Amino acid sequence: MTSLLHVDSSASPIENSVSRQLTALYAERWPGRYVHRDLARDPVPLIGPAYVTLGTRVEREGAGVLPADAGEEREWALTEPLIAELRAADVVLLGVPMYNFGVPTSLKAWIDRISFPSAYDDAAGQSVLRDTTVIAVLTRGGAYGPGTPRAGCDFQEPYLRAHFGKLGVTDLRFVCAEMTRADDIPGLAEFREMKLKSLAAAREQLIAMR
């Protein structure tokens, strides 16, 4: 039975969130094990100094290092369940609205915490995530695709591509809906047709992936 880890990071409720609506479209008929993590409703605590100290020691001494004090034990207790969730997933579905040209703070906090040194290395030194599929559903209020005036302001997809590549993910897929604010920002009204086409294409991609 395949396992899906569904991570939403939008600060908006589903009725106002295109990213939540799109990830729900993919997840609603998932046939296997399903875990939903809502980073807005249940935010991951920011990493603290004890996390950094423990991680640095692991990098120096190896994966067998144990927490040395109460602070490190607390940080590991917050971190280990998130790593276990990710390791157990066959498919990871991320809902990622663009906030200020990048990813939401809630998602960045999750990424910082799961990115613990050696957390995904197997006995042969390979990443256990090499067979994991990651689907990142990106939503943008404007247009940031290749050839658009703001293409150089997209720090959303390049960041996710670099991060999950570093963790060893080789099957990373992006689904993108642009101009999602065309209905409510007067200056974007002329792009409503572009919004509808982009949203329809994103839905078709997600349905085809299920």
Q: Is residue 99 marked as binding?
A: yes
Q: Is residue 164 marked as binding?
A: no
Reported as half-sphere exposure (CB side, CA atoms, 13 A), residue 27 has a value of: 25
Tokens 């990098």 correspond to: 59
Q: Is residue 159 marked as binding?
A: no
Q: Which residues lie closer than 8 Å to 12 by C-beta, 6 or more apart?
A: 20, 97
Q: Is residue 118 marked as binding?
A: no
Q: Is residue 19 marked as binding?
A: yes
Q: Which of 117, 127, 122 is nearest to 59 (CA)?
A: 117
Q: Is residue 100 marked as binding?
A: yes
C-beta of residue 63 within 8 angstroms of C-beta of residue 106: no
Q: Is residue 106 marked as binding?
A: no
Q: Is residue 198 marked as binding?
A: no
The span from the CA of 210 to the CA of 207, in Å, is 5
**Phi, psi (deg, nearest 5) at residue 107:** -75, -40
Which residues are part of a known binding site for FMN? 10, 17-19, 98-101, 139-142
Which residues are part of a known binding site? 10, 17-19, 98-101, 139-142
